[in-house]
Chain A
């Protein structure tokens, strides 16, 4: 009798375990459902394309224009971001591998209190969603690899 009940409980636990599923990344990243914490994905979904929220692509302005800091087009993008000194805040780099809180890119995208100039994208938004920022932060926290 006890064995039967125990088996029942074990079965219930296994059942519960399989019922539990991880949250989907796409539920968080909203207008960029394929966004992942890799450079390839960030370049594809954030830097080079806008999204359905109306957010413009970064390269609309950051494309080698001498009046706009950073050239985030194609093969220039990684070097222009990772360990690259910020022009507005020379004591910070745009992306500090492993340290999203001290990456000027994050400050500019989140509109931190110490940024110079406007929060990006300029013009008052639409800005990146908190889910999209979590993905960018995760990529940086994992070492900002060129993956």
Chain B
């Protein structure tokens, strides 16, 4: 019943959003100075400015503290190919085109700026997990020396019918001039074990997301994440690194991870094995 209400809310948003969110387009030149004046307040929204230190709303899987402008939106596709890169020799790997021939866990994500500093979104992965998430940016670095966002999410397996895993946490960021940003994101994940609590010792996970994005040159970045955990800690701690290029409203990222997880529940459940690394990519698009 409760999950239906959440689903209803998100569906309503998905209907309303396309009308509000206009695709990224260069605004037509104003016909006269009055039009120009009318345009000015809209264009002055600092949340619409490109942030060289935080060009996207996620690092690889963890959120950044970049604010999504009010009534604007963004879309992201995640791919995690299923072939471990260490399986077989280099010839085997090359013949599988470095894992691209294998199946992948694919994620589709849409986020929307509900009000200034507040965003909500939905992320679905191809193992039929659906995650609803929200983030409210409480502090901006310009005012407080750090950026801080309250983050919360809930994901459910089997198309949000089974095994609900809620998360609450904060994302703390520190921008390094125009050269990138570092992140610390403590999170508490409830019901991270998919088995009934009668059968498990720990059903919750506390994890600290550590992440960084470093600008290498122009709009080329290196990214990395590591998530140590305590409590219910199956698998291995999630780790990932990659390289990304920002082009206009798009971000293209090639990454290497020790698991397929992209939702918070999946990250709490850890990667597959210590020596298994998988190639993947993220593509995101801002609609503003």
Contacts and interface: CB of A to CB of B under 8 A. Distances in A.
B189 to A, nearest CB: 10
Contact of A138 (B138, B166, B199, B203): B199
B247 to A, nearest CB: 33
A138 B196 CA distance: 11
A16 B198 contact: no
Contacts, number: 68
B150 interface: yes
A12 B196 contact: no
B273 interface: no
Interface string B123-149: 000000000001010100000000000
Contacts of B154: 16, 19-20
Interface string B108-129: 0000000101100000000000
Interface in B153-174: 153-154, 162-166, 168
A19 B164 contact: yes
Contacts of B194: 23
A2 B116 CA distance: 10
A12 B152 contact: yes
Contact of B195 (A2, A13, A16, A23): A23
B196 A24 contact: yes
A16 B166 contact: yes
A17 B190 contact: yes
A37 interface: yes
Interface residues of B, number: 28
Given A5-B136, A16-B154, A25 B165 contact: no
Given A19-B166, A22-B203, A9 B152 contact: yes
A122 to B, nearest CB: 27
A21 B164 contact: yes
Given A37-B199, A134-B195, A20 B165 contact: yes
Interface residues of A, number: 24
Interface in B95-115: 115
A22 B164 CA distance: 8
A45 interface: no
Contacts of B87: none
A68 interface: no
Contacts of B196: 22-25, 27-28
Contacts of A13: 152, 166, 168
B3 interface: yes
B36 interface: no
Nearest to A24: B196
A24 B166 CA distance: 17
Interface string B191-219: 10011111100010000000000000000
A12 B153 CA distance: 10
A142 to B, nearest CB: 9
Nearest to B194: A23
Contacts of A134: 195, 199
A22 B162 CA distance: 9
A135 interface: yes
A20 B118 contact: no
B198 A36 contact: yes
What 6 A-B pairs have minimum CB-CB distances, sorted nearest first? A20-B164, A19-B2, A20-B166, A16-B154, A16-B166, A25-B196
10 contacts: A5-B117, A9-B136, A12-B134, A12-B152, A13-B166, A19-B154, A19-B166, A22-B191, A22-B196, A37-B199
Given A22-B191, A22-B203, 16 more contacts: A9-B118, A9-B134, A9-B150, A9-B152, A12-B152, A13-B152, A16-B168, A17-B168, A19-B3, A20-B166, A22-B197, A25-B198, A25-B199, A28-B196, A135-B199, A138-B198
